Structure 1
Amino acid sequence: MTSAHPTRRRLLQLGTTAGAGLALSPVLPGGRPADAAPDPADTVPDPADAVPARGGAPIRPPAVPLAVRSPYLNTWLPADNLPGTWPTFWTGRVTAMTGLATVDGVPYLFMGSPSSPLDYPFPTMRQVALTVTATKSEFVLRQAGIELSVTFLSPITPGDLRRQSQPLSYVAISARSVDGRPHDVSAYLDISGEWASGDAGRSITWDQQTSDGVVSLSCRQSSPDVLAERGDTAEWGTVVLSSVARPGLTWQIGADGDVRRRIATEHTLAGTVDADKPRPINDRYPVFAFNQSLGTVTRHAGEPFVVSIGHLREPTVSYLGTRLPPLWRTYWPDGPGMIAEFHRDYPAAAARCATLDRTIERDATRAGGPRYAALCALAFRQAYAATDLVSRDGTPWAFLKEISSNGNMQTVDVTYPSMPVWLYADPAYLKLILAPVLDYAENRGFPKTFAPHDLGAHYPNADGHLSGEGEEDMPVEESANMLIMAAAYLARVPAAERRAYATAHDRIFRQWADYLVDNALDPEFQNQTDDFTGFIAHSVNLALKGIVGIGAMSLIAAAAGDAADSRRYRDTAREYIARWQRMALDPSGEHLKLAYDRDGTWSLKYNGYADAVLGLRLVPASVARLEADWYLRHVATDGIPLDIRHTYTKADWEMWTAAWLKDHTAVRDLLIDGLYRFADTSGQRVPMTDWYDVVANRQQGFQARPVVGGFFALLTL
């Protein structure tokens, strides 16, 4: 560090109270003493100043999604206020981003926690509102007579693979006057080299390029480790910060202190590329910065300053030794062309996302009320961002990372709880996630009669387990999961596609279904998706899943045109469910047991949702009513425990249970309210966890996982 830039991370240590300012420096910009009379522009009465930091947001997110687009473009704000805290990768590692708004010659901090140049400190803008929707997070800040809107938009485009394949996210900044006076305003934004590696000691290099009217500042590791991770971060690929070349745009690549001092003193950037490259990320922290003059700002906001952030990886993943390119390469010959189109599409993308946000809010509010809608909004980007779209010989596939729990690739029992978001928003996307698993089991020599657990021990390498060793086998679990997901997908596509899909995969579906016929009614000592609770024998909930899986096969056989087999599997499922009900009922007659041989125990029977979403009607209404009444007797502060053994629960399974018991509105609403209360008050400021303690209001483990897609369960019925 240079002497002029000694404490990069320490100067701004703000809390989460709206209006917190910077009172640590003796002099403010322009030489005005810190204790001098306030600028008149800061004292104009404004009703909005009374709005708290969370503003109109219906929930205080545990962490606010910023650039959340893929497993490696996954940056969040672990706080309420945009200024004063560094954005972080989902793991908590800093992915620094700094924002400064220069108003009438004075730079104000609106994002990040940088050290100011010692002779020119940055006062801080007051945040007055935060709104989180399914696709965007919008912060509103005020200072010096202007209102700044900073919107992070991760465009999700169900049904449009071309746009969905773009590994990019928007930041849009606009300003308006709120004191009746015109103001000269510019907006500055930078990101650091920390976006390029999980190890700040790694060496990176960088470039600037202008192509098709777009300026791009990029960085990458000078010696990349292709298809490798450090701290769950990709150690290959290119991080790109881009903006449209328009009048008033300047840029610079250089040491963080030098670049920010330049904007503080000159209010413009030099258009230069630091020649001291490559060098380690933590050596004078290279930053990649844009500054856009917004001109004279009046009461109406003008054209926004739009920046895109991307992480481009080629190859994207490997599948059994074959490196697969990103799907966007199918549509664009190079990155600059893809990025330029992303910028041209911004107005339309913002409109599409606004429509999607309204649709999700409307549907979720109807299904479970405004708190449920807030939970769905919080989950949407998180679920999609666990996936990558690739091309496999011209065919699109989607790969999914088991984020935070163990990093497995294409984990079937992580896709399964995520299923509702795909069923609601884009069933074809679920098909793309299932495709590699089906290919692996059908064509690549997977040696077991039951379905695989995953395609590889760690993302992004689907190395498989073709030797039969090294996999976390969950025989009944995964076989039923695959059949249930396939049947749910088939119920949402046209008849011709149903028949073609069911017929194409008939052999493997029957193999798994026949395994369930032999093993599902009373599962032996097996692992299952809640593996943190340990192996279990005679599991009532696992048996229910297996029986529903057999019922799912009846639907798949019907889709393939085999009426006789459809009837056979349906009759087996019905026979089994009757026996299941008798074996599962506790001697008290008040509830179902955790396991057939454990009287006096109970658990959430969330797999009842699978029966409901497939419309099989296997579980009698009397059983649902019995369970609903029992759950009402075991509600804790923040929800209902997963089972009798612990005070923790799983958020995804709570929403599955709420959907299964949606007609029992008391338990449905208590489950929603408990999860909402936890998310709204959790002290762990991390991307939404799905494993938490309902008594202690504490994250038990896991974060940023796609299983929060399960929050959409009510919307699929």
Structure 2
Amino acid sequence: MKQQLMMLLLGTASVLCSCETQVEQHEKNELRAPAYPLVTIDPYTSAWSTTDNLYDSPVKHWTGKDFSLLGVAKVDGQTYRFMGTEELELRPLVKTSEQGSWTGKYTTQQPADGWQNIGFDDKAWKEGEAAFGTMENEHTAKTQWGEEFIWVRRVADIQEDLTGKNVYLEFSHDDDAIIYINGIKVVDTGNACKKNERVKLSEEVVASLKPGENLIAGYCHNRVGNGLLDFGLLVELDGYRSFHQAAQQTSVDVQPMQTYYTFTCGPVDLKLTFTAPMFMDNLDLLSRPVNYISYEVASNDGQKHQVELYFEAAPQWALDQPHQESVADSFTDGNLLFLCTGSRNQEILKKKGDDLRIDWGHFYLAAEKENSTCAIGDGRELRKSFLDNKLEAPTTNGYDKLALVRSLGETEKTDGHLLIGYDDIYSIQYFGDNLRPYWNREGNETIVSQFQEAEKEYKTLMQNSAAFDKKLMEEATAAGGRKYAELCALAYRQALAAHKLVQAPNGDLVFLSKENFSNGSIGTVDLTYPGAPLLLYYNPELVKATMNHIFYYSESGKWAKPFAAHDVGTYPLANGQTYGGDMPVEESGNMVVLAAAIAKMEGNADYAQKHWETLTTWTDYLVENGLDPANQLCTDDFAGHFAHNANLSIKAIMGIASYGYLADMLGKKDVAEKYTQKAKEMAAEWVKMADDGDHYRLTFDKPGTWSQKYNLVWDKLLNLQIFPKNVAETEIAYYLSKQNKYGLPLDNRETYTKTDWIMWTATLANDKATFEKFIEPMYLFMNVTPNRVPMSDWVFTDEPNQRGFQARSVVGGYYIKMLEGKLIK
């Protein structure tokens, strides 16, 4: 009766979770996500669908590399591919620098017209080995290029007829790149930065590729600090596809912990659910490296049908580059059948950087051994053997696929699940110590025991995950509207999976972020700050865990400066700051403000008391240097250094006020009065310095400028009462006049924005309706952007394009509107 009532209330907008037991019903998320989360464990094991239909492209790692995971239903002998594509099999035709070595002619001075054409005289150009880039930041760079521009000409000797072949250009660039083949423009990226991108060549370009010498010519514009240019050609192998018929996808729905798909496979309907039970109040569960893929099969014609489900995973899940050799195995434990793969050379924690994938440890796929069969070997042969009803294949030379078949028999309705996960053995190097993942912090767990626990808790976790999702969406809708809630749903797993949880040797809980597609830094304070609202809302202990390493860095004497560090290394090596420039006001303000936010959530300042001496040092630095900041970076470092930053000044003032707030909670009344009064005096000066009539300036010295003052939100959330209320009201009114189709620009200098800061800025509004006016354009952007990547936080507002960054933890900042409801009661 209760279930019938819920169905009537929710109507056609409701869906039922596809799992082996009844679960909560929820309202469907209507957002067409830029990318759909599938498997979300940590920065390395993170898989997404980047197309509207799950079967329209390969499953991808957040970096855009293929994480091949194939799913096929065989119904009465007919096959229907419902997940992924058969891995595109390519061989290098003209190798990139990662596939082999090549040299080219280059210049950093503007060449004459026609430089991209065959026959151009490049004798005066230099010769260098690819890739061309900033060698201190790009591990593939062999020829140093730090100037603003570069032009490269590469003669490619092709010794085969490519008629009728599918040929691809593969290239890496930072930033703007234009690439020509035999004088024909193939790529014009605009202001972007990508690694190992592929573009299928048109028939015209392929026809121009004749046996003998051909020319690939590339231009690149290095806008800020990093530069990179590399390119080559790949040709598609023939006859690798076995599953030509796709299922018909009928819906997709992203909830915070689960992504639901539904398909029609001829006479059978299939529901597929990806679940990451990332409960922040259970750290062992949060860090458990196992996700679920659940399925439910139901006849749509009332008849029974013979059904098998085929799942195939590539070793790329455990490799950085596809050309690395792997080893694979299968075994049983208890009632589970396991398949696993890993790199042949287990070089644990030997790599650091941004656009990298893990190549140590092992990837696992598991299912109930009853009615399951498996095989390891050549992918094409595995697929053919499945079609022939005998799962077997010869092994390959170091690139075996994993195939798992669930035989569901002749059925009208049935369900089941797979488990998918990763054992990284050691996760982080922390000031010289190699740390195990939190789930194995004592060294007494195994990946098999984690899978067995996950199997035992499956039904309970599916119920709890669905119930959690339903509650979160209801709370988010109440706080900021339905579109806000749908953005929060997409942000949840992305924000958490961009961290790794470990326990430091001193017992500290450490939750380390990775700067995905920004620079690869680990434990960055100005990622901690914007991402904190999600963690504050659900478990302040995790906010402390994003700060503990920075306190340790200072208090151990390893960082001796009187302000907070920017980071503690480059992921996964947390051995000390590697970022090239300090952000003294930014990071110090971030740390003190977050200490106050933790105190507000917990009702005590015990955490601040533990680090009082360090907080005092940082706050005194803000008092001395924060009102009118000198030429320096803030968290929006992509905009470059500049002085007199009004929003950065607010951060300093909020930091000083937060210190006063903490002192008051600790009974240090004289200290509280001193610093609170100082913050109010600085705020009064700020108002005079930044006043520009109907708004406040970007920098104190430049009238006619403006910027988002997102740091001001803490005056409201912590009820500090430092700035006059009309400051926020004036800014909000002005911002509404500056919005573009896809959002509010960060400031007057560019049309790009940061989506996390829009959420913070919008939370300054006094009413929900005004808040939603800022969310609508953001929602539109995510709904229509052609950049199919895990949500970018750095996007343009006058066009639906990503500027940079993706899959970053800062989208946890979307939860600041929900946090407002907890902090202001």
Bin the TM-score by the shorter chain: 0.7 to 0.9
1:471 deviation in Å?
Answer: 4.1
Partner in structure 2 of residue 297 of structure 1:
411
Does the Cα contact within 8 Å between 2:509 and 2:548 map onto a contact in 1?
A: no
1:450 is aligned to: 563
CA offsets 1:88-110 (integer angstroms, 9 cap, x no match): 11111111011011111222111
- Judge conservation of contact 2:430–2:504 (CA < 8 Å) in 1: no
From 512, 515, 539, the counterpart of 1:399: 512
1:473 aligns with 2:582: yes
* 1:517 paired to 2:623: yes
Name the counterpart of 2:465.
353
Distance in 1 (alpha carbons) for counterparts of 2:360 and 2:752: 38
Which residue number corresponds to residue 130 of structure 2? none
1:701 aligns with 2:804: yes
The answer to which structure has the higher helix fraction is 1
Distance 2:791 2:241 in 1: 40
CA distance in 1, matches of 2:447, 2:796: 44
1:196-345 residue pairs with structure 2 within 5 A? Answer: 196-227=318-349, 228-229=351-352, 231-245=355-369, 247-266=370-389, 269-270=391-392, 279-281=397-399, 286-298=400-412, 301-304=413-416, 306-330=417-441, 332-345=444-457
Residue 252 of structure 2 is matched in structure 1 by: 130
Write the distance in 2 (CA, Å) between the matches of 1:683 and 1:551.
43
The structural deviation recorded for 1:621 is 1.6
The 1:314/1:590 distance shift into structure 2, 3 A limit, reads same
Q: Tell whether 2:609 aligns with 1:503.
A: yes
Report the Cα distance in structure 2 between the residues aligned to 1:424 and 1:352, rounded to whole angstroms.
18
Q: CA contact under 8 A between 2:378 and 2:395: conserved in structure 1?
A: no
Residue type of the alignment partner of 1:242: A
C-alpha offsets along residues 336-376 of structure 1, whole Å, 9 cap, x if unaligned? 11111112111111111112111210111011111001100
**Counterpart amino acid of residue 558 in structure 1:** D
Deviation (angstroms), 1:144: 1.7
Deviation at 1:565?
Answer: 1.1
Once residues 176 and 571 of structure 1 are traced to their aligned partners in structure 2, the CA distance between those partners, rounded to angstroms, is 68
The letter for the 2-side match of 1:392 is A
Shift of 1:71: 0.2
In structure 2, C-alpha distance between the alignment counterparts of 1:459 and 1:151, rounded to whole Å: 31
Quote the residue 1:71 is aligned against. Answer: 43
In 1, the alpha carbon distance for the partners of 2:243 and 2:514 equals 42
Paired residues of 1:212 and 1:337 also in contact (CA < 8 A): no
TM-fit CA distance, 1:690: 0.5
For 1:389 and 1:632, the matched residues in 2 are separated by 40
RMSD: 2.0
Whether 1:431 and 2:576 are equivalent positions in the alignment is no
Amino acid at match of 1:687: P
1:337 maps to amino acid: S
1:610 CA displacement? 2.3
Q: Is the 8 A contact 1:74 1:90 kept in 2?
A: yes
Name 1:493's counterpart in structure 2. Answer: 602
Q: Distance in 1 between matches of 2:300 and 2:59?
A: 28
Secondary structure of the structure 1 residue equivalent to 2:547: helix
CA contact (8 A) 2:567 2:579 kept: no
Equivalent residue number for residue 718 of structure 2? 614
Q: 1:311 and 1:213, CA in 2 relative to 1: closer, same or farther beyond 3 A?
A: same
Structure 1: distance between partners of 2:802 and 2:245 = 35
What is the alpha-carbon distance in structure 2 between the residues aligned to residue 119 and residue 349 of structure 1?
37
- Give the aligned partner of residue 39 of structure 1: none
Render the CA deviation track for 1:531-564: whole Å, top value 9, x for unaligned.
Answer: 1111111111000011001111112223333222
Could you tell me which of 679, 691, 702 is aligned with 2:782?
A: 679
Distance 1:296 1:486 in 2: 59
- 1:453-464 to 2 correspondences below 5 Å: 453-456=566-569, 458-464=570-576
Q: Is the 8 A contact 1:72 1:311 kept in 2?
A: no
Residues 329 and 355 (structure 1), Cα distance of their counterparts in 2 relative to 1, 3 Å cut: same
User: What do residues 656-696 of structure 1 show as CA deviations (whole Å, max 9, x unaligned)?
Assistant: 111122x1445422210010000000011111000111102
Give the Cα–Cα distance (whole angstroms) in 2 for the partners of residues 348 and 666 of structure 1.
38
Structure having the higher strand fraction is 2
Contact 1:159 1:428 in 2 (8 A): no
Taking a change above 3 Å as real, the CA distance of residues 121 and 154 of structure 1, as seen in their structure-2 partners, is closer
Which whole-Å CA distance do the structure 2 matches of 1:252 and 1:414 have between them? 43
Secondary structure of the residue aligned to 2:628 is coil
Distance 1:119 1:486, change over 3 A: closer
Structure 1: gaps spanning 5 or more residues: 1-46, 49-54
- The one-letter code sitting in structure 1 at the alignment partner of 2:38 is L
TM-score (norm 2): 0.75
Matched, 1:60 2:32: yes
CA distance in 2: counterparts of 1:120 and 1:650, whole angstroms: 43
Partner secondary structure for residue 67 of structure 1? strand
- CA distance, structure 2, for counterparts of residue 617 and residue 362 of structure 1: 31
Contact 1:502–1:559 (8 Å) recurs in 2: no
Normalization by structure 1: what TM-score? 0.87
Residue 288 (structure 2) pairs with residue 166 (structure 1): yes
Q: Is 2:495–2:812's contact at 8 Å kept on the other side of the alignment?
A: yes
| TM-superposed deviation, 1:121 | 4.4
Which has the larger displacement, 435-444 or 599-608?
A: 435-444
Count of residues in correspondence between the two structures: 642
Q: Does the 8 Å CA contact 1:411/1:455 hold for their aligned counterparts? A: yes
Partner AA of 2:454 in structure 1 = F
| Helix, strand or coil at the partner of 1:302 | strand
Does the 8 A contact of 2:732 with 2:764 survive in 1?
no
CA distance in 2, matches of 1:659, 1:479: 23
Identity of aligned residues (%): 34
Q: Which amino acid aligns with 2:723?
A: V
1:389 corresponds to which residue?
501
Whether 1:547 and 2:653 are equivalent positions in the alignment is: yes
Range with bigger deviation, 426-435 or 106-115: 106-115
The answer on whether the counterparts of 1:145 and 1:178 sit within 8 Å (CA) in structure 2 is: yes
Q: Which moved more, 1:226-235 or 1:652-661?
A: 226-235
Aligned partners of 1:591 and 1:627 also within 8 Å = yes
Match of 2:115 in 1: none
Aligned mates of 1:382, 1:523 — CA distance in 2 = 33
SS at match of 2:377: strand
Does the aligned pair in 1 maintain the 2:262–2:271 contact within 8 Å? yes
Structure 1 distance, partners of 2:504, 2:586, is 28
- Offset at residue 171 of structure 1 (A): 1.0
Cα offset, 1:699, TM superposition:
0.7
The one-character-per-residue Cα deviations of 1:138-183 (angstroms, maximum 9, x if unpaired) are: 1100022111011111111111011111122211111111111111
Name the counterpart of 1:22. none
Q: 2:85 corresponds to which residue?
A: 113
Q: CA deviation at 1:579?
A: 1.2
